[in-house]
Chain A
Amino acid sequence: MLTFKGGVHPPEMKEWSKDKPIERVPLPQKVFVFLSNHAGNPAKPVVSPGDEVKTGQVIGEPEGFISAYLHSPVTGKVLEINKILHPILGKPIEAIVIERTSDDEWVYIETGDFERMSKEEVLEVIKKAGIVGLGGAMFPTHVKLSPPPEKKVDTLIINGAECEPVLTIDHRLMLERAEDILQGILIMMKVLGVQKAIVGVESNKIDAYHNLKKVFKGYPVDVALLKTKYPQGAEKQLIYAITGRVVPRGGLPMDVGVVVQNVGTCVAVKEAVVDGKPLVERGVTVSGDAVKNPRNLIVRIGTPVKDVIDYCGGIDENTERVILGGPMMGISITNLDVPVMKGTSGITAFLPKKPQPQKPCIRCSECVQVCPMNLQPYLLYLLSTKRKYDEAVENGLMDCIECGSCTYTCPSKIEHVRYIKLAKTVYRATRRGKK
């Protein structure tokens, strides 16, 4: 089985939701759509309070190259455009608040038969659909699918690893929507002009692996079985496991001829290009030991987390943590009014756990052994606390993929990743200052 060096094996906790077929959450009464629902520049609003909007209607336009379209997730009326706390950016960002007034009245994107469309036309549809990477990074898909001509991309890799504990939505998509995934892959292969696509699936989803194999028969799309290990789905680790290619430091997958997309993104691409549907909803796993009825759901973007949780029977009153995403890389939220974003792959809620006090580093070297990037997290942590940022950068600070394996394994309970993220932020800010 294919894998990479390092990593950890946290408890999978997928049994809570892995057998629950994907359901659709009833339409929300109110949605909060962040203008920043993607990496890059926030979108520019093109509606004003009081406007009537339909489902799929453009409400935000991209600003700059790395940006994306936004569409109304419901049919209703724009109430206001207000700043609310963006959980990922950690600061208030403008969001368009829409109140639903009726059932969906769709506005579709203009599309055609993708086999007859030109590359550029297909790309334009993907762009118009506002598709971003649904794995979590929310990088605009049309940008990823148009690498500069000097980068010779020959392989499309689809991330079906879903190595985060608890999350099962990608697993369910691979079981229930394999045909759509295939369509999405074929569309992206055409856009990239590549002859080969490989879906990587972890061995704990063997049924998904077999299902994809069956559906992909006769198409130039392979399925690779990966060892179940975290962070198997991290881009560079996935590329290495599947192709043996090493993305150079500071480089991108396209530097080794690869583009990586998530399985959820494949479905979104199919829906946009074949059905003309813009990205107004996504798959979300709601699970964790504090969730009454864990589920896999299709949720409209902008739906408050609270609505989604309520649909799952609510959470235990003793719940200590609610996390957007999985437990390894997700972001904890303290306010359940926060909306689902284009990158929200899961909502996980946990009961209280015994606190584990932090101890000094005893140089056990566990963090060094598990680091998939071959860094020395203990050292980066020490240098960050001493504010020796330049030295930390020399030792690979910026190479950290923030997977959290070091923090997970540390017997001294040191929060390496927290300090590393902080040091990165400070370093970036000071470097900008120097220029």
Chain B
Amino acid sequence: MKLMSTYAPHLREEDDVRKIMLDVLIALSPAVIGAAYFFGWYALFLCIAGAVTGELFDIFVMRYLRGVKDFVPDGSGAVTGLLLAMNVSTRLPFWAFLLGLVFALGIGKHVFGGLGQNIFNPALVGRAFLLISFPTYMTTWVVPGAGFWKSPVDVVTAATPLALFKEQGVFTSYWDLFIGKVGGSLGETSALLLIIGFIYLLLKKRVKIFIPASYIGTVLVFSSIAYLMNPKYGDPLFHLLSGGLMLGALFMATDMVTSPITEKGQVIFGIGCGVLTMAIRLFGAYPEGVSFSILFMNALVPLIDRYTRPRIFGEVKG
């Protein structure tokens, strides 16, 4: 009998990082199916290829560049790949998408030290890179519902509801916004399907409500005030349902690695994201501000964590 010497506790919960990542992938799948339905086969292809190549790239970096020979895939590369796919336009050629993915995982994650070490959400780093490198591809949108087999290049282009509103004062129907039958990045358009996925994550206790609630709540308050002052800013419901807010608030800002640890910190983080998003939407040059506000708040997380340290049991108030 060979007895092992182990450290207490000698029991562990079954849960692990892979199960967390798998749940995130499952939670994103309704929106992926929606993307395929609204934007066709290429959208579906980008999602699947994004997840697969993301994970493969992660394995490659860990095994061959960083020399971790017994590296066990954890699914985080797949999550980043899928999220990046959901954050791009279907007009983006695959080679450009791959470049963005390599940038996302390479610069967004591995230069910081890999899983858990990155400051910024890797998918958003990739998206920012693509937006700057390929602005035309990234901001040309296809009309939803052109049919599954239609090539994205042949589909008529459309503006996003936010751009339509900001530039031409045209409103999109709330129902179309809610179910996602509008122009936009392939996974961001359907509030309904994103919420369904998010509820799954909530029920599995993978995320907490604090960041989405404070983020969306702030957008609601901010846009209400702006709307009351001047209706040209758009009404609150429109701001909630359009653009990348739902995808950002439910799935990007909630990334564990790049958001604060404590509940208080998460609320502060969410409020910051909300304020910045609205500031960019209302006063900025871009019609959309979700990704940049999350990236900016990512940078503040160490600071937020420092000032929201929980009070140790038995610590005197003050």
Do B312 and A249 have beta carbons less than 8 Å apart?
A: yes
Do A363 and B11 have beta carbons less than 8 Å apart?
A: no
The CA of A356 and the CA of B74, in the complex, are separated in Å by 12
**A417-B7, A417-B9 are known contacts. Are A360 and B117 too (CB-CB below 8 A)?**
yes
Do A362 and B17 have beta carbons less than 8 Å apart?
A: yes
Give the residues in chain B near A5, CB-CB below 8 Å: 313
Q: Count B-side interface residues using an 8 Å CB cutoff.
A: 38
* Interface check B132, CB cutoff 8 A: no
B224-264 interface bits toward A, Cβ cutoff 8 Å, 1 = contact, 0 = none: 00000000000000000000000000000000110101100
Chain B's nearest CB lies how many Å from the CB of A285? 15
The secondary-structure label for the interface of chain A is loop
Give the residues in chain B near A396, CB-CB below 8 Å: 312
B1-12 interface bits toward A, Cβ cutoff 8 Å, 1 = contact, 0 = none: 101111111111
Give the residues in chain B near A356, CB-CB below 8 Å: 12, 16
Give the residues in chain B near A412, CB-CB below 8 Å: 16-17, 116
The secondary-structure label for the interface of chain B is loop
Within 8 A of B (CB), among A225-246: 236, 240, 246
The CA of A374 and the CA of B310, in the complex, are separated in Å by 6
Within 8 A of B (CB), among A200-229: none
The CA of A373 and the CA of B310, in the complex, are separated in Å by 10
**A411-B16, A411-B17 are known contacts. Are A378 and B261 too (CB-CB below 8 A)?**
yes
The CA of A376 and the CA of B19, in the complex, are separated in Å by 23
Within 8 A of B (CB), among A301-343: 315, 317-323, 327-336
Give the residues in chain B near A375, CB-CB below 8 Å: 310, 312
* Interface check B65, CB cutoff 8 A: no
Do B315 and A249 have beta carbons less than 8 Å apart?
A: yes
Question: Quick one: which of A10, A359, A399, A408 contacts B17, CB cutoff 8 A?
Answer: A359
Give the residues in chain A near B20, CB-CB below 8 Å: 362, 364, 411
* Interface check A16, CB cutoff 8 A: no
Give the residues in chain A near B19, CB-CB below 8 Å: 411
List 4 A-B pairs, minimum CB-CB distance, nearest first. Answer: A404-B9, A360-B116, A418-B7, A249-B314
Further pairs besides A336-B3, A412-B116, A413-B12: 16, Cβ < 8 Å: A236-B314, A246-B314, A321-B6, A321-B10, A329-B8, A330-B10, A332-B10, A333-B5, A334-B4, A359-B17, A363-B259, A363-B261, A373-B313, A407-B8, A408-B12, A409-B13
